[in-house]
Structure 1
Amino acid sequence: MAVKVVFLHGIGDGDPRGGWLEGLNRGLTQAGYEPIDRANTLAPRYSAILSTEGIGAKMPPVTYRVKDDSKARFEFARRQARIQRSLGLPSTASGLGAHLMPDGPLNTMQGFAVGHLSAYDLTQVRRYVRNEALRGAVLRHLLDQDFGDEIILIGHSLGSVIAIDLLDHLPENIRVRRFITIGSPAAAPSLHEGSERLLKRFPYARVDDWSNIFNPADLVTGGRGLAPTFPAAQDFAIDIGFLEHGAGNYLGHPAVANLVAQITYPSKSLVLAKSGIAVRLTDSQASLLLLLHYGHTLVRYIKDPAAAARYAGALRLRQDHVVAEIEEFATVGQQPLAAELHQLIDGGVPTVPHLWELHEAVGELAVLALTNVVDPYEIDVDRAPVQAIPAVAFALGFSTDVGEKVVRAIEDVQKALDRRGGVPWGRVLGAAAGLALLAAGPVGLIAAAPVGGAGAAAIVGGLAGFGPGGMVGGLAMLGGLAGAGGALAAGAVAGGGDEQSSALDLKTLVLRVTVEHARKMLDLPFDQNLWYQLADAETRVCGQINLFEAFSDPKSPRLAMLREIEDSLGRLMTFVIANGLAPRSIEAGDEVRLEAQEPDPAAIG
């Protein structure tokens, strides 16, 4: 085993019997792995330094001096996301044992014993943090050890504080393949008051990932994680028992043992078998590939290099999640994959399939332009979302003019809705008083048919996290509003749902108007029944307003939202008439009725 497991102990005698390793090996064995030999570990003891007065040394130099580690930070975030997917643990405390925790802040509580330790007696920890000479002595003692080139660094209790402090002092040749803190008190405010903050700059290019494991009923942790204090830490709450703080119990937990096993016993990457039979993409899978292609295309149009780099990093993170779900779908569900999906798994961005007719592509392009592909991350990319649309239209097999007209249609509708004028492309697009449009919902994600076996439907649930839109595809959304579906959607606008559901359905109607407008601009057939769906929605919303006004406060947030929806619907209806999207009888208005009443002069003649 090339990677060495380094364990930094907490307060006390330094765990000379190796209880930490016994606990870790118990967890590894239970998970089906071989135990780790002591020869492949390093557990330096420094308890004598901590307990002896007068010992001190100059702090070792900071060895992490990378000027720009933004790329390393993006890759760090991707690895953190993989860990979160693999562990499936909550990142926040469940409240377990919170009602049994004693009252009072962490730095004033005394006397709650855990084994031989007073859990709230953090004197040694505070002394280490605030006494620079003592810190220097401990760190220099550790740096004299033979770490090797690659390590898994585990810090327990006080040892977690020391481990955090050690990261940017390590020799440049050492790579921390995995950083794990357990039972850490490092978030306690009292440790940082009147002292230099530990680890001012996290060494993203040196440390692959950081998982902080805490027991909510462990008094030393105060029931809190480290992320509020150290942004690089990813917190995971586990249950190892009330008041339990021992390193062996932490390391024996399956989640922690698996974290170690992933590095010490790495499994070979699974190569998915490729069927000799050609597998056709489903419509939703094709929409997924189009969505990712659009995201990669959009990056090329972001003028700010820093924003482009952040967007590309966030896109890769989202793509990693999709690939993980596809792999699970293929392995657990025993489902063959289309060649394009294999290409995606191999790290590429497949060529966009030419599966859409022109009238369908218009809908997909409109949804793309109003989609934040990297949701939930919000990055100001200026006009890049619409500048990329003509190139994507060309990739779909159509002229760039198709994309340009879709962009014009979007801008026309947005201007009609926005009282201030203009289209705020760089931020979440708004209708009326800031109602979110589709900037938070993806176009179309993989919609796998139900298959047998445990976890076979995981792809459906997992990909729902790829943005609030979940599994709803752009065309599916549009198709669902056609005919009777439109009446249902319009009814949902005012059917007693909350403001969020009302706004969502308004978004859908805005999209419908946009798509039909674009289709008319391209001389394609468009749906004139759209007017009746808008009118039905307006009638229902006004009915709700009339009902709520009788009892609610005049400035009720719900009333305000409904009035904004009413205003937006009115603007949409005006736009539909002005742009020839309504039935002729509606466009003509009173003139039609007058024509029906007055005799035709030509007929008289």
Structure 2
Amino acid sequence: MTPVTTPTLVYLHGVGQGDLQQEWKANLSATLTRIGYPDLSDVTVITPVYADELKEHSDTQRSLALRPLRKDRGSNSTHVFDFERRIAAMEHRLGRHNRGAGGAFPQAVVNASVALPIFAQARNYVNNTQIRAQVHKCIVDQLPTEGDIVILGHSLGSVIAADLLLRLPEGLTVKGLATIGSPLSNENFNVDDIAKHLKTPPSNLSWWVNFWSGSDPVAAKRGVSTTIPWVLDFRIKTPLIPGPAHSSRKYCADEAVAEAIGFGLFGSRSKEIVLAEKNLKLPLDDTEIFVLQALRYGYLISTRLKGDDARRYAYALRETQARMVAEIKERNARENKPVPAEISWLDFDIADPEADAPIPKKSPYMPKVQAYERLLELVGHNLLQPFEIEVSEKIKREALEDFTSETYLGSPLGMEIYQALHEAEQIVSVAPKTNWRRWGAFGVGAAALTVATGGLALAAAPGVVGAAAITSALASFGPGGMIGGIVTAGTLATVGGGSFTVGALSSVNSSEEVEAMVVHRLSLALLWEANGVDRVQEIWDELANAERTLNRDYTRLKNVSDSSSPILKDCEQQLHTVTRALKYLGDHGMGPGGDLPEKETENAEAEEGTQEPKSVVAPLVKILSKKHETEG
């Protein structure tokens, strides 16, 4: 086995002579050990000093040309995608991107400072091509000709690092670039239109994280991504006094800076996730089962994709798996429950872009009656939110057939699901648009309205609806708010039996959303009816409840709003959708009472007083009907 070689660390200083006492190095080394990485004692550290090259002395000027730009600048889609995967992993590792607000006053401070004598070196570098060439040569002459390096650029050193990225030797790969106290957001430092050259990430760069402090006047309260959008900006705290606030030694004492440098030099601290509960056999609750099933179905889809679609889908599925597992672990910890082995198996280090996500194991067996509802949830939702990747129905259907086959339900069941969806769509849609295929695109909005049903998501504040419910529900989630597939997964685990429709079928959603939900519930009714499951009345009750709610909303809007109101028209469309579904159920004997034979009806009425009714809606309908006949 070839031994792994630690990359070389290159430190590029700012104006002046740099940190000749190497305090930045001592602080960084101590912080690395504090967070669990090795120190810098065995790392090759290169600290070029280019103060003389930054001075404008005619006697030291040499006729030097800038190194040529690299031919491959990372413009191809594969590299851009891979870079996004790595930068997303760094965001998982460090925390949410924060580009800062900036402002006129901080920028004015930087603009005024540039004119001071202490910044003469910076002005020389930005404005004098010969000086740039001298500085580049001074640095490159000390670098290895091939291999991996990690660059730490402070202040003007961050500008030099960015300028040098496309001019490094072909054999060098920058495993990571960390910039601290960078002025790159200020237009005075846009050397040689650097933002244009760095429109896309260079092919020799793995990731770039910029650390800035709100008290650092050079950073001007904003990150580098305002100039170079693909850079990850991360805010840290340094002292409030301007000098120490900009000091490299203060930045290097920060654990986030050390985390980035440590990962670039040594890789992940956890090469493998240690599964302390790997032998723990525990019963799975419905939420955990749903997560296993959703990830397995996604995996079966991914195996059928090719090329760019396969790469993007695999990435989105990997992100979703990490979120789902993390949220289950967090939920179980809150409830003082251990994590079952099946969930622990799925865990991996999402902050390591090279870590493979374990392949989800086959779904546990589920009874066929339960399978109808669960499979509709799986195929009818975008489980990868917030990512949207179009997958053909053929691939999704084949994956579902494999899923039902390996779950001992039989592959024909997968076909039944899609047939029911198509039939339901034809029933409720004036002009079928296969909305059910994309109803997951609004899953966050609809699901957040029903978070009180349980699952992974936390309940919204009482009385909060619509967009406010989404905000309330997601506010207590982890860093960044896990707004992706995890929210959908958490609520879908408990939506069976109508809890989803009761909360979601209302005028706060669009007509497309309502239509998709009606298609979902009507599909389930068709499956239940075709297979003799005596629960179709539940769907009728749900839709009847929704019809009353929508009818009240429509009447209230119509009495006040303009007749041309888009909201009024949308509500009217929603009402028509629900009405069509109810009419179909009634016309086909799936409404209240159905088309039972006369004898069975008599028996049912005789037993009505001795059996608990399935629904409070059916008796209410009968009472209202009798009242209407009496009044008539």
Query: Normalising to structure 1: TM-score of the pair?
Result: 0.77
The counterpart of 2:508, out of the listed 486, 494, 499, is 499
**Does the CA-based 8 Å contact 1:8-1:155 persist in structure 2?**
yes
Matched, 1:582 2:591: yes
Give the letter aligned to residue 566 of structure 1. Answer: L
- CA distance in 2: counterparts of 1:553 and 1:219, whole angstroms: 54
Matched, 1:5 2:15: no
Greater shift, 228-237 or 248-257, is seen at: 228-237
User: Which has more helix, going by share of residues?
Assistant: 2
- CA distance in 2: counterparts of 1:563 and 1:429, whole angstroms: 23
- CA distance in 2: counterparts of 1:548 and 1:32, whole angstroms: 61
Alpha-carbon spacing, 1:47–1:66, altered in 2? closer, same or farther (3 Å): closer
**Partner in structure 2 of residue 348 of structure 1:** 358
- CA distance in 2: counterparts of 1:279 and 1:529, whole angstroms: 32
Matched, 1:390 2:408: no
The counterpart of 1:185, out of the listed 183, 186, 190, is 183
How far apart are residue 368 of structure 1 and its match? 1.4
**Partner in structure 2 of residue 319 of structure 1:** 321
SS of 1:174's partner is strand
The counterpart of 2:293, out of the listed 290, 293, 296, is 290
SS of 1:281's partner is coil
**Does the CA-based 8 Å contact 1:491-1:536 persist in structure 2?**
no
Matched, 1:366 2:366: no
Greater shift, 459-468 or 55-64, is seen at: 459-468
SS of 1:110's partner is helix
Give the letter aligned to residue 203 of structure 1. Answer: P
How far apart are residue 180 of structure 1 and its match? 0.9
Matched, 1:399 2:410: yes
**Does the CA-based 8 Å contact 1:180-1:212 persist in structure 2?**
yes
**Does the CA-based 8 Å contact 2:106-2:221 persist in structure 1?**
no
- CA distance in 2: counterparts of 1:194 and 1:169, whole angstroms: 13
- CA distance in 1: counterparts of 2:490 and 2:551, whole angstroms: 28
How far apart are residue 407 of structure 1 and its match? 0.8
The counterpart of 2:572, out of the listed 549, 556, 563, is 563
Matched, 1:534 2:543: yes
* 1:438-517 alignment, distance < 5 Å: 464-467=482-485, 469-472=487-490, 474-479=492-497, 481=498, 485=499, 490=502, 493-494=505-506, 499-500=508-509, 508-517=517-526
Alpha-carbon spacing, 1:307–1:539, altered in 2? closer, same or farther (3 Å): same
What are the Cα deviations for residues 220-274 of structure 1, in whole angstroms up to 9, with x where unaligned?
Answer: 3332223344343211122324453222222222221232334556535342235
- CA distance in 2: counterparts of 1:535 and 1:517, whole angstroms: 17
The counterpart of 2:302, out of the listed 299, 303, 320, is 299
How far apart are residue 515 of structure 1 and its match? 1.8
Matched, 1:18 2:29: no
SS of 1:388's partner is helix
**Does the CA-based 8 Å contact 2:373-2:496 persist in structure 1?**
yes
The counterpart of 2:49, out of the listed 45, 60, 66, is 45
Give the letter aligned to residue 477 of structure 1. Answer: V
**Does the CA-based 8 Å contact 1:168-1:202 persist in structure 2?**
no
- CA distance in 2: counterparts of 1:290 and 1:439, whole angstroms: 21
Structure 1: gaps spanning 5 or more residues: 450-457, 598-605
Give the letter aligned to residue 362 of structure 2. Answer: V
**Does the CA-based 8 Å contact 2:515-2:574 persist in structure 1?**
yes
- CA distance in 2: counterparts of 1:320 and 1:173, whole angstroms: 34
Alpha-carbon spacing, 1:437–1:445, altered in 2? closer, same or farther (3 Å): closer
How far apart are residue 117 of structure 1 and its match? 8.0
How far apart are residue 359 of structure 1 and its match? 1.5
- CA distance in 1: counterparts of 2:129 and 2:588, whole angstroms: 73
Identity of aligned residues (%): 25
- CA distance in 1: counterparts of 2:48 and 2:485, whole angstroms: 46
SS of 1:528's partner is helix
**Partner in structure 2 of residue 335 of structure 1:** 338
Matched, 1:150 2:109: no
**Does the CA-based 8 Å contact 1:416-1:575 persist in structure 2?**
yes
How far apart are residue 124 of structure 1 and its match? 5.5
**Partner in structure 1 of residue 606 of structure 2:** none
**Does the CA-based 8 Å contact 2:522-2:581 persist in structure 1?**
yes
Give the letter aligned to residue 85 of structure 1. Answer: H
Alpha-carbon spacing, 1:32–1:376, altered in 2? closer, same or farther (3 Å): closer
**Does the CA-based 8 Å contact 1:76-1:208 persist in structure 2?**
yes
Give the letter aligned to residue 431 of structure 2. Answer: R
Matched, 1:420 2:448: no
**Does the CA-based 8 Å contact 1:89-1:237 persist in structure 2?**
no
Alpha-carbon spacing, 1:70–1:335, altered in 2? closer, same or farther (3 Å): farther
Give the letter aligned to residue 41 of structure 1. Answer: V
Alpha-carbon spacing, 1:378–1:339, altered in 2? closer, same or farther (3 Å): closer
The counterpart of 1:58, out of the listed 60, 65, 77, is 65
How far apart are residue 364 of structure 1 and its match? 1.7
How far apart are residue 153 of structure 1 and its match? 1.2
Alpha-carbon spacing, 1:361–1:337, altered in 2? closer, same or farther (3 Å): same
**Does the CA-based 8 Å contact 1:92-1:225 persist in structure 2?**
yes
**Partner in structure 1 of residue 603 of structure 2:** none
**Partner in structure 1 of residue 197 of structure 2:** 198
Greater shift, 10-19 or 158-167, is seen at: 10-19
**Does the CA-based 8 Å contact 2:11-2:153 persist in structure 1?**
yes
- CA distance in 1: counterparts of 2:289 and 2:513, whole angstroms: 24
**Does the CA-based 8 Å contact 2:514-2:574 persist in structure 1?**
no
How far apart are residue 478 of structure 1 and its match? 1.4
- CA distance in 2: counterparts of 1:532 and 1:48, whole angstroms: 82
- CA distance in 1: counterparts of 2:504 and 2:457, whole angstroms: 27
How far apart are residue 144 of structure 1 and its match? 1.0
Alpha-carbon spacing, 1:464–1:103, altered in 2? closer, same or farther (3 Å): closer
How far apart are residue 340 of structure 1 and its match? 6.5
What are the Cα deviations for residues 157-197 of structure 1, in whole angstroms up to 9, with x where unaligned?
Answer: 22112212333333344343332112222233454497352
- CA distance in 2: counterparts of 1:331 and 1:2, whole angstroms: 37
**Partner in structure 1 of residue 251 of structure 2:** 250
- CA distance in 2: counterparts of 1:330 and 1:169, whole angstroms: 51
How far apart are residue 541 of structure 1 and its match? 2.1
What are the Cα deviations for residues 525-582 of structure 1, in whole angstroms up to 9, with x where unaligned?
Answer: 4422322321222222222333344445555565454334323322332343455532
How far apart are residue 276 of structure 1 and its match? 4.6
SS of 1:476's partner is coil
Alpha-carbon spacing, 1:238–1:548, altered in 2? closer, same or farther (3 Å): farther
What are the Cα deviations for residues 439-492 of structure 1, in whole angstroms up to 9, with x where unaligned?
Answer: 9999x999599xxxxxxxx9985894442635525351113x2xxx57xx5367
